[in-house]
Structures are given as C-alpha cells and as structure tokens.
Structure 1
C-alpha cells in the first residue's frame, strides 16, 4: 500500500502539469509585445488587454453572455430548489427516477440537446433564438441546482424542521426560518457553478445562437478563425482571472468542501 503512494503522487503531478502548463503558455502570451500568438512572448506589454477592452464585438458578446448566464442561473435555481425540496423532503413516488430526470442533462451530449431544441423550437415553431438559448442553458444548469442544493439539504438535520412545525410554525415560516438558512450555502455554490458553466458554454450556444446574440466564447471562436494575434489570449486570461476570483470568493464565503463533501454521502 505504501509503495503505491509515490506512483499515485507522480501521476497526480503529471495530471496537474498536463492541465496547467498549457494555460500558463496562454497567460504568458497575453502579455507579449509582439504581433503574433507565440511562446516565449516577445517582451512585456498590456496592449492586447487594451485592444480586447476596445473590441466592440467582444464587448457586445460579453453583455449577452452575462445576461444569459444570470437569467439561466436564476431560472435553474427557481426550478431546482423546489424540486430538491420535493425530492428530499416530500413523499413523491419514484424519487430516484425524478432526480435522475433532473440530472439527465449531464449525460446527454449538449450537441444532441442543442440540435433537438434547434429543430423543434427554432425551425418548426419559429421561436426567436435567445429564448431557446435561454431554455437550453437553463436545462443544462438544472443538475447543478438539484445536486448541489440537495447535498446541502442532505447534510442538514431534518428534526429541526420537524421541531419548528411542532412548535406551531407554518410551512412557509419553517422554510424561511429553518430550511432556507440550511440551503443558502448550496444555493450560493450552485449559482456560482451555474453562472460559470453558462458563461463558458460553447456546444449549446454554437447551435442555438443568432447573429445578434453571440456569446463571448462563440465570438472568441469566430475571431480565432479570422485572426491569430494575442488579443484572444488576453481575453482568455481575463476570463480565467474572473473564474479564479469567483472560486476564491465562493471558498471564502461558503467553502466548497462543506457543500461537495455531502455529494458523496
């Protein structure tokens, strides 16, 4: 058992290097003073960050991505939190099957979901692209809302809610006074995960976007097909920095271990 630990540690280090080193190359290339995307960078400059901030398609796409991520996360939580309560606290028959339905977007490929929505809602019923894109992102985020908030609820003591009801509290007051404080860390974490997932999504957005509703990752993909300058690395670095900041805030505020430790219970 002891002899296997160095091998496992070496494999872990190798895995981290494979994931992190290419990202470091992109970050380093974003600060180059040259005109092409290459490593090692040619000098140091912030010119490409300034160029990215002034690029109109990126700014418009950023607003679209923020709007889409906020709306889809809010809708996913609005559906997922009551569903979690019904699954873990209700007396529904077939709870495992119902929970499996909410988690199914994790299994079904996003391209399949996007193609189905495109064929049925956009082509057949002529619905605008943005509502369909919002629906697709909401469905994609439902597993996070149900699973993460469910982990927080599973780690709570149900007798507290029973005691509140036994003391005469109404179901609504019991929810806001006892259940919601227990769920708040899970809701917060699910919201952050959902926001990041929606913001960075490519397959679903690529199929359901319209010309005037391009998200930032799709605009970046279009830009790479036309140009190969370091501005794309600068945008990627900004997105990476924003994601890291969100993760740090979530860890300091809630603690991911507190939430995700309950998923494996």
Structure 2
C-alpha cells in the first residue's frame, strides 16, 4: 500500500517528462513569430501552409510512406511464417532462434546501419532504396515475430486441428481458421512496424542517399539550417496523423489486447 503513492507519482512524472516537450512543440507551431520560441507570440496558421508547400518535405514524405509500407509488408511476409514455426513447429533450439529474430531490438541501430552500409552499399553496390528497404525490414522483424506470436498464444490450435479433421487442406485451414484469428496481431504488427519505420532516423541516416531522403532525416537537416516554426508545424502534422491512425486502428482492430499479451 505504501508503494502505490510512490509508483503513481513516478508514473505522473514520467508522463510529464514525455508530454510537456511535445506540447511545447505543438504550441510553437501556432506562433506568429518568425523564430521558433516558447511561449508563442500571437496566433497564426501560416507555418502549416509553408510546411505543406515546402518541396523537400513533400518529396521526403512520399519516400517515407513508400518505404514504410514496403518494409512493413516485407517484414510481415517473413515474420508471420517465422512466428508460426516458432510457436507451432517442433524446432530444436527454439529459444535461441527466437532470440536471434528479436536481436535487432537490443542491437543499436547505428551498428545495424553501419553493417548494412558496408555490405549493401559498398560490398554489393545496392541502390539506396534497396538498402533502406532491407535495413528497415530487419528492424521491423522483431515486431512482426513478437506481436504475431502474442496473437498465436491467444488463438486456440484446436480450431485448426478440427478443420483439418473435417477434411480441410493445411492451406485452407490456415486461410479460413488461423489467419482470421491472427488478423488483430498482424494488423497491430503492421501498424507498429509502419510507425517505427516512418519515424526511424539512425538507420535511414546511414543508408539513404542525396536523391532519396526520408522525412525524419530531411527534417533533421532542416533544423540544422533554419530555426523557424516550419519544423514545429510539420512535427504537429505528423503527430496529428499518427494519433488519428492509432485511434482508427484501435476502434477497428482493437490491438491493445494483443499488446497486452506480450510479456
């Protein structure tokens, strides 16, 4: 009982540390001043228009959306079969393999990016998009394997066995029974992977080229050159879009119950 007030105070402190800087950025996006400052001076929406009209931001946004979508699809195409094999198959050394697929979560992204840069960009001469796609897919694999695996633990394998017993082929049993049970986990992994890929900076910073830039890295370059509220406006737009996607996904998929199954 005595520990609960302390835990509550630490939780509130953690939320304050995370949310207050974000609120500062959002408030600064509506300033009428020509410099990024807090508290904002006046009220204006001009910076949102300038952010939307800034060509490097729009080009990088399209590149980031394409990259995040392709990387998420590739990670799921590889991660879902891996999760099925780890949870349903009799594989020796299962814990070792699971740790291997989850290792990108603990290895620093700069280390992964440097290794991929040496192998793909220098050794194999791959294009920037191919290198970014492979790098982001590697980064998203743990989410695909772990979240889909959590959905598998909530699914009853007896349902698939019953379908097989009634004459369904393995593929039909998977398509009509197992896959619908996995849909919340797959959708949750897709959402989490897409957001992670879209917001990634360290890996993209090492693997992108001058002709192909992602939005977070482009925004980082902009901050180094200019200090006006355009960057705050762009950050606010991304934050609003992320919140809208998360709310819609929660209402349609209910992915919080899948994340609750991850221990």
TM-score norm. by structure 1 comes to 0.97
Alignment of 1:240-259 (within 5 A): 240-259=239-258
Alignment of 1:20-99 (within 5 A): 20-99=19-98
Match of residue 177 from structure 1: 176
Distance between the aligned counterparts of 1:176 and 1:126, measured in 2? 39
SS at match of 1:174: helix
Report Cα offsets for 1:138-168 as digits up to 9, x if no partner: 0000000000011001111111111111111
Match of residue 211 from structure 1: 210
Deviation at 1:99, TM superposition (A): 1.4
Match of residue 8 from structure 1: 7
Match of residue 262 from structure 2: 263
Report Cα offsets for 1:88-119 as digits up to 9, x if no partner: 11122222111111111101110001001111
- The total of aligned residue pairs comes to 263
Deviation at 1:254, TM superposition (A): 2.0
Gaps of 5+ in 1: none
8 Å CA contact 2:185, 2:255 repeated in 1: no
Match of residue 161 from structure 1: 160
Bigger Cα displacement from structure 2, 28-37 vs 244-253: 244-253
Distance between the aligned counterparts of 2:126 and 2:2, measured in 1? 61
8 Å CA contact 2:184, 2:258 repeated in 1: yes
Deviation at 1:252, TM superposition (A): 1.1
Gaps of 5+ in 2: none
8 Å CA contact 2:132, 2:204 repeated in 1: yes
Distance between the aligned counterparts of 1:137 and 1:53, measured in 2? 26
8 Å CA contact 2:187, 2:255 repeated in 1: no
Match of residue 149 from structure 2: 150
Q: CA RMSD in A?
A: 0.9
Distance between the aligned counterparts of 1:77 and 1:125, measured in 2? 25
Report Cα offsets for 1:205-227 as digits up to 9, x if no partner: 00001001100000000000000
SS at match of 1:255: coil
Report Cα offsets for 1:166-191 as digits up to 9, x if no partner: 11111011001110011000000000
Distance between the aligned counterparts of 1:43 and 1:5, measured in 2? 42
